[in-house]
Amino acid sequence: MKASIAGRIRNTNLPKTKTLLPLFEAVMNSFQAIEEAGGQGHVIRIIAERQGSLDEGKPGPIEAFTVIDSGIGFTDANFDSFETVDSPYKATRGGKGLGRFLWLKAFSRVEVESHFRVPDTDGLLCRKFSFVASDEDLPRKALPSDRQKPETSVRLVGYRTPYVDECPRQLDIIAQRLIGHFLPLFLDPDGPALTLSDSADTIDLREFFRDNFQTFATKRSFSVGGHSFTLSGFRLRGALADHHELVYAAHFREVITERLAKFLSNLKNKLNDPGNTSFYYLAFVQGQFLDDKVNSERTDFSIPREAAASDRDAGSSAEDAPSELFADEISLKAIRDGALAAVTEDLKSFLDAINTQKEAALTSYIAEDGPQYRVLMKYKGEFIDDIPPQASKTEMEMALHRQLYQRQVRLKQEGARILSEPAAADNTQEYYARLQKFVEDENEIGKTSLAQYIVHRRVILELLEKYLTQDPDTGDYGLEKTVHSLVFPMRATSDDVPFEQQNLWIIDERLTFHSFLSSDVRLDQVQPLETDSLSRPDLLIFNHPLAFSEDAEPLQSMVVIEFKKPDRTAYQDEDPVTQVYRMVREIRESKKKDRQGRYIRPANQNIPAYCYVICDLTPPVEIRIQNMGARRTPDNLGYYGFNETLNAYYEVISYTKLLSDAQKRNRVLFEKLNLPTTDR
């Protein structure tokens, strides 16, 4: 059976982001050739050849690489392996038999010249050929060599698009990528000398490694699913990196990488060592399991990304599940979790310092802007890592809100479990211990919800004060609809508006507990009523359901509220109290229906009415109210009275009194949360 070289190359996967992988394959061959040759004093030289640059002072793009080593060379055995597709010759050392196809995926041809020692003699032979995308046999015959020492050069020529465009031009960046790919091999003090050069510079890669990688190198071990892994940590200084990175390796070589900041928010920025030198951290994970699972192209692992269904968290979606092919395999996520734990331990002193700074910022934020989250501070160790360093107030608010929501969900789930698992005779003590802890936790979260509501009230009163302030430029005040909408949104009913958007407590705390409310809705459009009246009460409230069931209580009282424009002085047709009296009569004269459309009776035809008029007490308004016999409130900021004929109690509340009374009622709550108070 013959194999098509061109077809094999076409079917070989090489992402453009892996543009240097063909070079790495050639360098790995050199490492293996030197290992096979044995002995000391070996050298690997890597030469980059450039095209001319149109930009003076900027290096030109790479057009070829040559890798020269002093290893065993293209002996007959190695040459046979080279000519065999999917050769198992180097399988025990992680060889996949595909590296040469990666060469031709990214380069147009490969020029090989190898001077190798003849077994059992002192002589050398030379094998020289070009490897291209052709099925023609390579010349097998080796000729006598004029060299004194073994040496093999592999020249990768004709860098193809798009790989040539992705290849770094700076020699030090290529050096960093080379070392990053082969990190464990550089840790071997007996390994070969390595140099990287172009026409202008030469870099000693081992010296480069010592200066930039090895000084603070660490090594840790961890296990996942019975498999052992090692994690080598390196600190990259200067311009060698621009992020913290986690590398998964196979056979001492990089396969895939991930940004650590994606999983550890404290690693979004550079770290600083005690000498105030900044660095990025590189974690290199290895293990026999990864060696066994790397794919043929060395671009990925044949393992599931996520955990098996039985191991996934309850919150994971079915889309994250691996296929049944990998059902018994440990996942990349499981390996990552083990590696992240090792990274966290390796960088503990740095991360602890960051968390200390974040805790101080978090404490300050909660004290000044988010007292409703104070209860979460005892759990800060559980989520402090999720808050990014130098977090803005918005980021802290989002993190705290997310944490509070998650705790609320967990509490609801725990409560449901407790209620569905009544205490058994043999574990009563355990059951009640769980119940007691649940009650304690629930109380804490309840306090947080209360604090949120108190903060909400503080914000609403600040807005009300702003709306009631005279514009210094125009001398005008806000419109009554602005205040109205703050108390309750207009053109809506209590069925339309969430509780948290209802601020009736500004007027009277008791108004919060109602059964039906319409806001700025014409009486002929209020569903519980049947009337032809076109009057439009600002707020109309019924304090009992309008017969939600057959035995429901009948209508027992109503509340009518009117807002007038701040600083209004004249009322041409009727004063505001007379206006609410008229609407009370119209409502009483209308027929009432329940939610099923059946007519219902009121408790009596003269059910109590409670009327509130919110307006500024200008002299003309006060004269009209006083003529009705209204009484002043003790603070002289309002009036109240009772109309016996209409069975209607009324209050006229100035905007000053409205704001002042609301602030006083809530002052003790604000003080408990250390919120500023500005009572009038």
**Three-state secondary structure readout of 485-498:** HHHCCCCEECCCCC
d(CA 158, CA 142) in angstroms, rounded, equals 26
Q: In this predicted structure, what is the pLDDT of residue 251?
A: 87
Give the pLDDT mean for 39-49: 94
Give 498-504 contacts, CB < 8 A, sequence gap 24+.
500/453, 500/456, 503/457, 503/460, 504/539
Q: What is the pLDDT of residues 462-484, one digit of tens each?
A: 888 888 887 666 666 667 888 89
**Pair (138, 22) in one structural domain:** yes
Give the pLDDT mean for 373-396: 85
Is residue 64 situated within a structural domain?
yes
Is residue 363 situated within a structural domain?
no
Q: In this predicted structure, what is the pLDDT of residue 315?
A: 37
pTM for this predicted structure: 0.56
**Pair (137, 194) in one structural domain:** yes
Query: In this predicted model, which residue has the larger pLDDT, 357 or 516?
Result: 357
Q: In this predicted structure, what is the pLDDT of residue 151?
A: 96
**Pair (327, 193) in one structural domain:** no
**Pair (415, 309) in one structural domain:** no
Give the pLDDT mean for 499-517: 84
530 has pLDDT over 90 = no
Give the pLDDT mean for 79-88: 75
Give the pLDDT mean for 585-611: 69
**Pair (375, 231) in one structural domain:** no
- Among 141-155, 402-416, 535-549, 614-628, the least confident range: 535-549
Is residue 572 situated within a structural domain?
yes
What dihedral do alpha carbons 663, 668, 674, 678 form, nearest 10°?
A: 20
Q: In this predicted structure, what is the pLDDT of residue 288?
A: 95
- What are the C-alpha distances in Å from 125 to residues 35, 40, 53, 76, 147? 20, 22, 39, 11, 9
Beta strands at 631-632 and 638-643: parallel, antiparallel or unpaired: antiparallel
d(CA 175, CA 240) in angstroms, rounded, equals 9
d(CA 33, CA 31) in angstroms, rounded, equals 6
3 has pLDDT over 90 = no
Is residue 81 situated within a structural domain?
yes
Q: What is the pLDDT of residues 424-453, one digit of tens each?
A: 545 566 655 665 665 566 556 666 666 667
Cα 541 to chain centroid distance, Å, stands at: 44
Q: Is 176 left (phi over 0), alpha (psi -120 to 50) or beta?
A: alpha
Look-up of token digits 């209802």? 502
Residues 6+ apart with CB under 8 A from 398: none
Last residue of a domain, one of 212, 227, 243: 212
- What's the CATH number where 90 sits? 3.30.565.10
**Pair (522, 636) in one structural domain:** yes
Assign 285 to helix, strand or coil: strand
**Pair (93, 208) in one structural domain:** yes
75 has pLDDT over 80 = yes
The fraction of the chain above a pLDDT of 90, given in percent, is 40
Q: How many CB atoms lie within 10 A of CB 440?
A: 9
323: confidence class by pLDDT, cuts 50, 70, 90:
very low
**Pair (221, 194) in one structural domain:** no
Closest CA to 196 of 171, 214, 168: 171
Is residue 207 situated within a structural domain?
yes
Q: What is the pLDDT of residues 217-269, one digit of tens each?
A: 899 999 999 999 999 999 887 766 789 999 999 988 889 999 999 999 999 99
**Pair (182, 238) in one structural domain:** no
Give the pLDDT mean for 577-604: 71
**Pair (262, 173) in one structural domain:** no
Residues 6+ apart with CB under 8 A from 144: 123, 124, 125, 126
Q: In this predicted structure, what is the pLDDT of residue 427?
A: 57
Query: In this predicted model, which residue has the larger pLDDT, 555 or 508?
Result: 508
Query: In this predicted model, which residue has the larger pLDDT, 356 or 482?
Result: 356
Give the pLDDT mean for 106-135: 90
Give the pLDDT mean for 358-365: 90
Q: In this predicted structure, what is the pLDDT of residue 545?
A: 45
Helix H, strand E, coil C: the string for 446-462 is HHHHHHHHHHHHHHHHH
Is residue 267 situated within a structural domain?
yes
Q: In this predicted structure, what is the pLDDT of residue 10?
A: 87
Q: In this predicted structure, what is the pLDDT of residue 575?
A: 81
Last residue of a domain, one of 285, 311, 346: 346
- What are the C-alpha distances in Å from 525 to residues 531, 534, 559? 9, 9, 17
Is residue 314 situated within a structural domain?
yes
**Pair (233, 294) in one structural domain:** yes
Side chain identity at 535, as an amino acid letter?
A: S
548 has pLDDT over 50 = no
d(CA 338, CA 221) in angstroms, rounded, equals 9
- Among 89-103, 280-294, 336-350, 655-669, the least confident range: 89-103
604 has pLDDT over 60 = no
Domain limits at 596? 480-671
Give the pLDDT mean for 653-664: 93
Omega within 30 of 0 (cis) for the link into 162:
yes
d(CA 124, CA 322) in angstroms, rounded, equals 54
**Residue ranges of E strands in 151-224:** 151-159, 193-197, 202-204, 218-224
Is residue 319 situated within a structural domain?
yes
573 has pLDDT over 60 = yes
* Count: domains in the chain: 4
Q: In this structure, are residues 271 and 281 in contact, taking their beta carbons and an 8 Å threshold?
A: yes
**Pair (201, 217) in one structural domain:** no
Give the pLDDT mean for 361-378: 82
The fraction of the chain above a pLDDT of 70, given in percent, is 80
Q: In this predicted structure, what is the pLDDT of residue 320?
A: 43
Give the pLDDT mean for 4-33: 90
d(CA 567, CA 556) in angstroms, rounded, equals 35
Q: Which of 465-474, 490-499, 628-637 has the highest mean pLDDT?
A: 628-637
Last residue of a domain, one of 193, 212, 231: 212
124 has pLDDT over 60 = yes
The mean pLDDT of the chain is 83
158: confidence class by pLDDT, cuts 50, 70, 90:
very high
Q: In this predicted structure, what is the pLDDT of residue 458?
A: 83
